[in-house]
Amino acid sequence: MKVAVVGGTGFVGRHVVRRLLEKTFEVVNIDKLSSEQLYPGEQVLLCDLHADDGAARAARDAGEIGGAVWLAATIRQVTSIDDSAEDDLVTMVEAPLAFLTALSPQPKVFVYISSIQVYGKPVTLPVDETHPTDPFTAYGVAKLCAEHYLRIACDKAGVRFVSLRLAFVYGPGQHFSNVIPKFLTEAAKHQSPIIKGDGKEIRDDVYVEDVADAVASAIEMDCSGTFNISSGQPHTLLTVANEICALTGNLVQPVVTPEKSDWVDRWYTVAKAEKQLNFKATPLEQGLRKTWQDLAKQV
Amino acid sequence: MARSSETGVVGVTGATGHLGQWVISELTKRGYETVSISRTPTKIRTIESLGFPSATRTLALDLSDWNKVQQASPQLLELDYVLHLAGYIPDDTNKNVEFDAAKTLKQNVTSMVHLLRSVRSSKRLKAVLFASSFEVYGTPRQLPVDEDHPTEPLSYYGASKLACEKYLSIFGNETGLRHCSFRLPAVYGPGDQLNRAIGNFIRATTRKEPLAIYGDGSDRRDLVYAGDAARALADCLETPVPTVLNLGSGTGYSILEMAQAVQSLLDGTEIVMAERKKPKLDYVLSIERAKQELNWSPEVSLEQGIKAQLQWHSRRETET
């Protein structure tokens, strides 16, 4: 079966493309940029989702596909409603809808990569899929809006729809501005990871290859609906930093600052994904180790 | 321009629509200055015959066009309140045709983003109120449906209204301004031109056709009289309110009750039962929160409301 991965050149996209190829799917990566290192067998279709008719044209060019995975998004943590809000609506709602509509014949399954940002501030911990959805970021609103529009469109078209709500993703290939690769490179260079506040806030980081597995399962298994894809194991930023310092040879120790953090404790269950997607989260220590092994080759 | 010290200037989007005309009337009665914000502010108002006042001023503006919204910025920043009623509603929201997906996104969601961006820096703005819909809930899991019921819209229209609510809530948290999304059931009363239950029945009577009920008519639906809804919206301009609020009848009415209410007012009207087209669906909103927090209850009974709408309809028929 041929699977279109829209946004296959990004950090998560590379892992998804690789995993799907390993599972012997035929994969077409639809992105505005091609990757510098294509996987054997990976097809690339360049597409500007902001161009008039861009998503629909890509769908027509992709030809007959059995599954679609929508990753394309600009990752933001902006809470305000500014010009990026409209941009997000185009990339994350209008474009996937136009893409789905233009696919002929219709695919069997559409997997939308959503975010735990759709929940907003947790009212109960851990957060499961029935938790109210009240995003406090415009990005989260766009993701939530897309989940509803695409569910309705897929229901109508007889396409199986799966929405994966990802926690904070880390792993090989992530940009250095993100906290885990940043701490790893710093620790390796004898620089202490600096934590704003006491580092005791609860967070949920999911290993990127687990996300790729979840996408593959969502395509292969007869399931539909919304799934949390997270570590399922709460940990603190201090734990992450301590693990990182241990992994990199105990060259430094994390430093906490007296600042007050505005972090909201977050922790998401994966029971539903475990049951229906055979999901198994990689333990934090193991995920960090793999990330470090990959990074160590570069630094 | 001179302003009343107690009240202020209310921008009403969708002021030429059904609820919009009632809102303008209610606000004018209370002494507010109103600005009718609409793509076609000169559109002939449908309930002029009732002596409804027009807005103090008009502002022609297509909210889905950001350049136009930016050009209108000086006027928008003059507003003390925004009542956002404008929106695209498909003829049949359940059909979910492709066209409606794109149009609800643009006309409803993108327009909301533009509106909020345009007033974010306002120094005068005190409140933003939004006319949302019961369709944000989706299939009721229990009745009556209260504001904490999960939101799983089954229509693009409902999904668009839900996204608008969420943007408004972010805006409210960021600016600290009072804001509220009103989840409205079908709005009826003079001026109602939509193909919903009451409007359909009334139109049938003017064509001397029987009132058609699909199924046994036992399905309960909710309604709110336009005047009652307008009163709730106007009340919220000055009162701190919850951020989400249902309005409705409190009890709901069966389709048969609605038909019988029309029948009782027009001698010789027949009711015919036809084969059910859709599965049975009961839909009643809880209005406890509005009662408690806003001291609001519907005042116009179903019979009174239908009577008013019938009179409006027949007067229009004779005028045209």
When pLDDT is cut at 50, 70 and 90, the band that residue B238 belongs to is confident
CATH for A2-169+206-229, among 3.40.50.720, 3.30.1280.10, 3.40.190.10, 3.40.50.620?
3.40.50.720
Pick the residue from chain B with its C-alpha nearest to A129.
B150
Q: Average of pLDDT values for B203-225?
A: 92
Q: Where are the domains of chain A?
A: 2-169+206-229, 174-203+233-266+282-296
Q: Do B156 and A152 touch (CB under 8 A)?
A: yes
Highest mean pLDDT range out of A255-269, B57-71, B205-219?
B57-71
SS3 B170: helix
Q: Which amino acid is at B248?
A: G
Q: Which of A99, A121, A131, A145 has the most B C-beta neighbours within 10 Å, making it the best mutation to test the interface with B?
A: A145
Domain shared by B64 and B143, yes or no: yes
Are the C-beta atoms of A243 and A286 separated by less than 8 Å?
Answer: no
Q: Looking at the predicted structure, is the pLDDT value of residue B204 above 60?
A: yes
pLDDT value of residue B319: 66
How far apart are the two ends of chain A, measured CA to CA in Å? 39
Q: Looking at the predicted structure, is the pLDDT value of residue B18 above 60?
A: yes
pLDDT value of residue B6: 54
Percent of chain A having pLDDT more than 90?
A: 88
Residue whose pair of structure tokens reads 């233009």 in the numeric block: A102
Which of these, A261, A205, A256, A198, lies nearest to A234 by C-alpha position?
Answer: A205
Domain shared by B293 and B207, yes or no: no
Residue B310 resides in a domain: yes
Residue B49 sits in a domain whose CATH number is: 3.40.50.720
Task: Give the CA dihedral B200, B204, B207, B209, nearest 10 degrees.
Answer: 160
Contact residues, chain B to chain A, C-beta under 8 Å: 66, 96, 98, 101-102, 105, 109-110, 113-114, 116-117, 120, 148, 150-156, 158-160, 162-163, 166-167, 169-171, 173-174
Q: Do B117 and A83 touch (CB under 8 A)?
A: yes
Distance CA A169, CA A75 (A): 11
| Nearest-neighbour CA in chain A from B137: distance (Å) | 11
Distance CA A174, CA A298 (A): 13
Q: Do B166 and A79 touch (CB under 8 A)?
A: no
Both tokens of residue B179?
Answer: 């804001």
Pick the residue from chain B with its C-alpha nearest to A100.
B98
DSSP assignment string, B216-279: SS--EE-EEEHHHHHHHHHHTTTS---SEEE-S-SS-EEHHHHHHHHHHHSTT--EEEE---S-
Number of inter-chain CB pairs under 8 A, A vs B: 86
pLDDT value of residue A70: 98
Q: Parallel, antiparallel, or unpaired: how do β-strands B9-13 and B33-38 relate?
A: parallel
Q: Looking at the predicted structure, is the pLDDT value of residue B197 above 90?
A: no
- What pLDDT digit, counting tens, does each position of A59-116 carry? 999 999 999 999 999 877 666 788 899 999 999 999 999 999 999 999 999 999 999 9
Please name the residues in contact with A274: beta carbons below 8 A apart, sequence gap of 6 or more.
A232, A280
Please name the residues in contact with B14: beta carbons below 8 A apart, sequence gap of 6 or more.
B20, B37, B38, B84, B85, B86, B87, B131
Radius of gyration (Cα) for chain A, nearest Å? 19
> Which residues of chain B does A158 touch, with a Cβ-Cβ cutoff of 8 Å?
none
Distance CA B159, CA B157 (A): 5
Please name the residues in contact with B254: beta carbons below 8 A apart, sequence gap of 6 or more.
B217, B218, B219, B220, B221
Domain shared by B54 and B203, yes or no: no
Kindly report which listed range (B83-87, B94-98, B155-159) carries the lowest average pLDDT score: B94-98
Residue B192 resides in a domain: no
Domain shared by B159 and B214, yes or no: no
When pLDDT is cut at 50, 70 and 90, the band that residue B49 belongs to is low
Distance CA B311, CA B317 (A): 10
User: Phi and psi dihedrals of A165, rounded to 5?
Assistant: -95, 100
| Nearest-neighbour CA in chain B from A151: distance (Å) | 9
The answer to whether A22 faces chain B, any CB pair under 8 Å, is: no
CB atoms within 10 A of CB B2: 5
Length of chain A: 299
In the stretch 131-150 of chain A, residues with CB closer than 8 A to chain B read: 132-138, 140-142, 144-145, 148-149
The answer to whether A96 faces chain B, any CB pair under 8 Å, is: no
pLDDT value of residue A81: 85
More confident position, A80 or A165: A165
Residue B102 resides in a domain: yes
pLDDT value of residue B2: 41
| Nearest-neighbour CA in chain A from B104: distance (Å) | 10
Per-residue CA distances from B262 to B196, B197, B254, B256, B309 (Å)? 14, 11, 13, 10, 10
Nearest CB to B105 within list A79, A94, A141 = A94
Q: Looking at the predicted structure, is the pLDDT value of residue A129 above 60?
A: yes
Domain shared by B142 and B266, yes or no: no
| Nearest-neighbour CA in chain B from A80: distance (Å) | 7
pLDDT value of residue B4: 45
Q: Do A81 and B101 touch (CB under 8 A)?
A: no
> Which residues of chain B does A137 touch, with a Cβ-Cβ cutoff of 8 Å?
170
* Mean pLDDT (chain A, rounded): 95
Domain shared by B155 and B88, yes or no: yes
| CA max distance for chain A | 58
Domain shared by B213 and B229, yes or no: no
Distance CA B207, CA B216 (A): 23
Domain shared by B33 and B130, yes or no: yes
Residue B269 sits in a domain whose CATH number is: 3.90.25.10
Q: Average of pLDDT values for B150-164?
A: 98
Peptide bond into A105 cis (omega under 30): yes
Are the C-beta atoms of A102 and A56 separated by less than 8 Å?
Answer: yes
Domain shared by B25 and B134, yes or no: yes
Pick the residue from chain B with its C-alpha nearest to A155.
B154
When pLDDT is cut at 50, 70 and 90, the band that residue B44 belongs to is low
Residue B1 resides in a domain: no
pLDDT value of residue A141: 97
Q: Looking at the predicted structure, is the pLDDT value of residue B3 above 50?
A: no
Which of these, A71, A221, A86, lies nearest to B112 by C-alpha position?
Answer: A86
Are the C-beta atoms of B184 and B132 separated by less than 8 Å?
Answer: yes
Domain shared by B35 and B161, yes or no: yes
> Which residues of chain B does A88 touch, with a Cβ-Cβ cutoff of 8 Å?
none
Domain shared by B159 and B271, yes or no: no
* Mean pLDDT (chain B, rounded): 92
CATH architecture of A174-203+233-266+282-296: Alpha-Beta Complex (3.90)
Q: Which of A79, A124, A148 has the most B C-beta neighbours within 10 Å, making it the best mutation to test the interface with B?
A: A148
- What pLDDT digit, counting tens, does each position of B160-191 carry? 999 999 999 999 999 999 999 999 999 999 98
Kindly report which listed range (A11-15, A102-106, B208-212) carries the lowest average pLDDT score: B208-212
Q: The domain containing residue B202 runs over which residues?
A: 197-221+252-283+306-319
Q: Average of pLDDT values for B115-141?
A: 97
Q: Average of pLDDT values for A168-195?
A: 94
Q: Average of pLDDT values for B11-23?
A: 94
When pLDDT is cut at 50, 70 and 90, the band that residue B314 belongs to is confident
Domain shared by B17 and B44, yes or no: yes
Q: Is the dihedral of CA B237, B238, B242, B245 positive or negative?
A: negative
Peptide bond into A122 cis (omega under 30): no
Distance CA B63, CA B279 (A): 37
SS3 B80: coil
